[in-house]
Structure 1
Amino acid sequence: MPECLIVQPIHPAGEEALEAAGIRVRRASAQDMKTVAAEIETADALITRDAGLNAEAMDSARNLKIIANHGIGTNKIDVAHAAELGIPISFTPTANARSVAEHAMMLILACAKRTVEADHAARNGNFRFKFEGGMSELTCKTLGIAGFGTIGRLLGEIAKNGFAMKVLIWSPSADDGTIRDNGFEPAGTLDALLEGSDVISLHRPARPDTHHMINAETLRKMRPHAILVNTARGALIDEAALAEALESGVIRAAGLDVFDPEPLDESSPLTGLRNIVLAPHVAGSTEDALKATALACAQHIVDALANKRPESLVDVAVWESRRKT
């Protein structure tokens, strides 16, 4: 019976789908790579979330034929080494997109309405909080979206249709015609996006060319009342520069679901600021998204072990030269 090792917990529906397909499910006793390397030897398939999978663990997996990444980002998987070994990697680019887009909108609203501060004030009997001001409407404001994948497009639709916001898009991979066809306006450059937006939401992958794309210099290009939101990858933002910008009033507020590194250190200057909303990387963790993602991973594994190419592969070319024994 083929076997799947699950590195981190997934929705039970995913495990049930694997077992119904005749695949034995085994959970790693811990998610660190030393433990995974010791327990992966007999696995034919593996599901990992943000723990990834390193080269050492792959080298210990003599039967491994498919790595199913539970989510979009594969930066913690040694993709190049997997390709060398002929192990395809699948991912789930759309399973949690709606949940992440909604979470980004929630952070935008929480920053605009000072929701966390208002909650704290109410719990402490401070009803004079309402005289402090600093809250704003979103209607007819401009939302700038950096990146135009599924999540960025969905967020744009929520903002435009639900709040009558003007939506600007900057994406090196999307041409102006495609952006306009979706009902949005191209910004042309990152600087134009930052300078022309009341709210900026980041939806770019973590790569060398996007590392700290938001830094002291780019923060100064934003409007003083700007709100910055990140539900993509923590490495997109220089957190020290952001903390300084929030404290000094360079921008008004920020909402972050991702950090670099994770988990966020309790001593981070971000944790002491009032004008920031923090969440522990939960944008894609709604019950709906977790179920859809787990089922997608399970289907990828069922397909791969039946010699059917999974729907979403990081590198399709690896499938043609995949390990078959």
Structure 2
Amino acid sequence: MKILVTPRSFAKHDPKPLEMLLEKGFEIVQNPYQRPLVEEEITELIKDVDGVIIGVDPLTRNVLEKAENLKAISKYGVGVDNIDLDYAKERGIKISRTVGANFNAVADFTVCLMLAVARKINVIDRECRRNNWNKIMTMEIYGKTLGVVGTGNIGKGVIKRSKGFDMNILAYDVYPDEKFAKEYGVKYVSLEELYKNADVISLHVPLTEDTYKMIGKRELHMMKKNAILINTARGGLIDEEALYEALKENVIYGAGIDVFEHEPPTNKKLFELDNMVISSHNGASTYEAVDNMGLMAVENLVRDLFS
């Protein structure tokens, strides 16, 4: 059997996931470009494979139609918005995700972005390198109100960490976890109430038709002037043009963004903003998370190909 592996970090730290595939006798094709593949590139690589371990590369209908032998897709992560799920189901292609493998890494990184934006770490670092030792005024997050949109594993992880900062917690979820809320002092509210009252707003929902550009000009103008917006979930949840205008005009204090609708971002104006900390979809990039995702992705793929 032939396997395509697209994530660049796969088996880079621990070779065991790759060794597991080789032990099963798989012929392995790896991403030759060291970046996310575009549709034309992955179409060429996937056309005769039996299984794929996929990162953020596009598995559109056009791509999948060319993969005539494909039986299983193993997502290296949890978000599946880059996969045409309906067509895969129509074809009987099995799909798995590495649920729980990276939630600690992403929760850590979310809090990291909160602090980096609040304390303007990017600006301070840049100015120090220019030998500018003037003090830069910033904002604390201790004791402030955190609004978490989506209380799955990562959202809950962020809430747990925020308790160390004595933050008040507001949350929104289509399926509230009342037991968790009671244990950690979380108050479930409407999205509008959360946007209006939170000092820090952190997004942890999948990208769907309902959540696409869920944060636009209207929602940004609901927020406090000192609000910080964090997105470590999925690009496309935020209208990036509206975010640019809001940050440029100081409608909100700042933003920490790890994910963009197009990566790298096509809107280069975002790079000019001092009140935005930008990251390259790096939330899950820890040794521990990469090892966990690699092992789980291989286990899922092997199970689905031989079951």
Supply the AA of the counterpart residue of 2:258: D
- How many angstroms does 1:305 deviate by? 2.4
Shifted more, 72-81 versus 31-40: the winner is: 31-40
1:105 maps to 111
Matching residue of 1:277:
277
List per-residue Cα deviations over 1:124-163 (Å, max 9, x = no partner). 12111x1x42x12222111110011110000110111x21
- The answer to whether the aligner puts 1:66 opposite 2:72 as a matched pair is yes
Taking the aligned partners of 1:39 and 1:108, their CA distance within structure 2 comes to 39
Counterpart-to-counterpart distance in 1, 2:245 and 2:48: 50
Displacement after TM superposition at 1:74 (Å): 1.0
Report how far residue 102 of structure 1 moved. Answer: 0.7
Percent identity over the alignment? 35
For the pair 1:120 / 2:143, whether they are aligned, the reply is no
Give yes or no for contact 2:5–2:54 (8 Å, CA) kept in 1.
yes
Q: Report how far residue 201 of structure 1 moved.
A: 0.5
Matched, 1:19 2:18: no
Over the residues paired in the alignment, what is the CA RMSD in angstroms?
1.7
**Runs (5+) with no aligned partner, structure 1:** 308-325
| Corresponding residue for residue 101 of structure 2 | 95
TM superposition score normalised by structure 2: 0.92
TM superposition shift of 1:182: 4.0
> What amino acid sits opposite 2:200 in the alignment?
V
- Counterpart code for 1:197: A
CA contact (8 A) 2:170 2:189 kept: no
SS class of match (1:236): coil
- Residues in 2 aligned to 1:170 and 1:241: alpha-carbon distance in whole angstroms: 22
Q: Return the offset for 1:256.
A: 0.5
1:236 counterpart residue number: 237
After the TM superposition, which of the residue ranges 22-31 and 95-104 deviates more from structure 2?
22-31
Q: Partners in 1 of 2:47 and 2:142 — Cα distance?
A: 55
Q: 2:51 aligns with which of 32, 45, 51?
A: 45
- Tell me how far apart the structure 2 counterparts of residues 242 and 53 of structure 1 sit (CA, whole Å): 28
1:163-194 CA-to-partner distances (Å, cap 9, x unmatched) read: 1212211111225x234234132232001111
Structure 1 120/34 Cα, relative in aligned 2: closer, same or farther at 3 Å? closer
Q: Following superposition of structure 1 onto structure 2, how do residues 254-265 of structure 1 map, counting pairs within 5 Å?
A: 254-265=255-266
Specify the alignment match of 2:140 in structure 1: 137
**Match for 1:138: what amino acid?**
I
CA distance in 2, matches of 1:224, 1:185: 23
Asked if the contact 1:211/1:237 (under 8 Å) is kept, the reply is: yes
Shift in alpha-carbon separation, 1:64–1:279, aligned structure 2, 3 A:
same
Does the CA-based 8 Å contact 1:224-1:249 persist in structure 2? Answer: yes
Alpha-carbon distance change, 189 to 127 in structure 1, aligned in 2, over 3 angstroms: same
- SS of match in other structure, 2:21: helix
Pair 1:187-2:184 in alignment: no
Q: How many aligned residue pairs are there? A: 300
Q: Does 1:198 align with 2:199?
A: yes
Instruction: Summarize the Cα distance change of 1:32–1:268 in structure 2 as closer, same or farther, 3 Å threshold.
Output: closer
CA contact (8 A) 1:169 1:184 kept: no
Aligned to 2:150: 147
Ranges in structure 2 where 5+ consecutive residues have no aligned partner: none
| Cα shift at 1:304 | 1.5
- The answer to whether the aligner puts 1:157 opposite 2:156 as a matched pair is no
The 8 Å contact of residues 235 and 261 in structure 2, kept in 1 or not, is answered as: yes
State yes or no: 1:222 paired with 2:187: no
Contact 1:29/1:35, CA 8 A, preserved across alignment:
no
How far did residue 279 of structure 1 move? 0.6
* CA shift for structure 1 position 24: 2.8
User: Which structure is larger by alpha-carbon Rg, 1 or 2?
Assistant: 1
Separation in structure 1 between the aligned mates of residue 202 and residue 145 of structure 2, nearest angstrom: 11
